[in-house]
């Protein structure tokens, strides 16, 4: 029986170098396609995540500024290029005195609220582009441009928009 196995294996031929080269090339192309697909999926996921962060930061900033501007009885905008700090103040029905100041700290939009002298500060939005952010109060309207940039290099996603708030009547 052992002799018969030897005679069967002598009649078989192995793969040639060309066949092996073709097989390795095909496997490499398939593997490269899989890697490119995974890389593209990761890149798209990162860009979508950055865009979501930018939109959420922008919405948060607009929410707080509009909310406070609607309450304000006085609005003061700095005469500089950015218009910051933005200072809003009002009195509540119980004579509590409110003051809210918006200012930039590097790339963070900070909101400092004072209620009868007690202050608290929160970060309203991160990733603010100070060069493209400005506030103007004219003709009884508060207009502001905010640009938020998230990501690095060629992957930077920016969300920018001009918003107008019609504050309390009588300003």
Q: 34-67, pLDDT tens digit by residue?
A: 999 998 888 888 888 888 999 999 999 999 999 9
Cα angle vertex 49, ends 46, 52, to 5°?
150
Note the pLDDT of residue 120: 97
Run of H or E including 1: none
Using CA atoms, how far apart are residues 68 and 90, in angstroms rounded to an integer? Answer: 9
Looking up tokens 């590097």 gives: 106
User: Quick one: tokens of 109?
Assistant: 């939009």
Note the pLDDT of residue 3: 54
Q: Look up the pTM and report it.
A: 0.77
Measured distance between the N- and C-terminal CA atoms of the chain, rounded to whole angstroms = 107
Residue ranges of the domains in the chain? 36-165
Q: How confident is the model at residue 15 (pLDDT cuts 50, 70, 90)?
A: confident
Note the pLDDT of residue 152: 83
Note the pLDDT of residue 97: 95
Strands 86-91 and 108-115: unpaired
User: Quick one: tokens of 74?
Assistant: 């006085």
User: Quick one: tokens of 87?
Assistant: 């200072």
Q: How confident is the model at residue 4 (pLDDT cuts 50, 70, 90)?
A: low
Using CA atoms, how far apart are residues 132 and 148, in angstroms rounded to an integer? Answer: 9
């Amino acid at each position: 029986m052992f002799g018969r196995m030897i005679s069967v294996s002598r009649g078989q031929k192995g793969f040639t170098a060309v066949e092996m080269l073709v097989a390795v090339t095909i496997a490499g192309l398939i593997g490269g396609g899989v890697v490119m697909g995974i890389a593209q999926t990761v890149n798209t996921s990162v860009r979508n995540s950055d865009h979501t962060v930018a939109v959420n930061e922008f919405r948060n900033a607009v929410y707080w500024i509009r909310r406070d501007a609607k309450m304000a009885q006085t609005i003061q905008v700095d005469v500089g290029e950015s218009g910051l700090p933005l200072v809003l103040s009002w009195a509540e029905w119980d004579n509590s005195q409110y003051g809210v100041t918006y200012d930039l700290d590097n790339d963070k939009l900070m909101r400092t609220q004072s209620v009868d002298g007690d202050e608290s500060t929160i970060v309203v939005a991160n990733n603010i582009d100070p060069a493209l952010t400005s506030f103007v109060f004219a003709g009884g309207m508060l207009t502001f441009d905010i640009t938020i940039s998230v990501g690095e290099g060629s992957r930077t996603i920016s969300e920018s928009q001009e918003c107008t708030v019609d504050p309390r009547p009588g300003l």
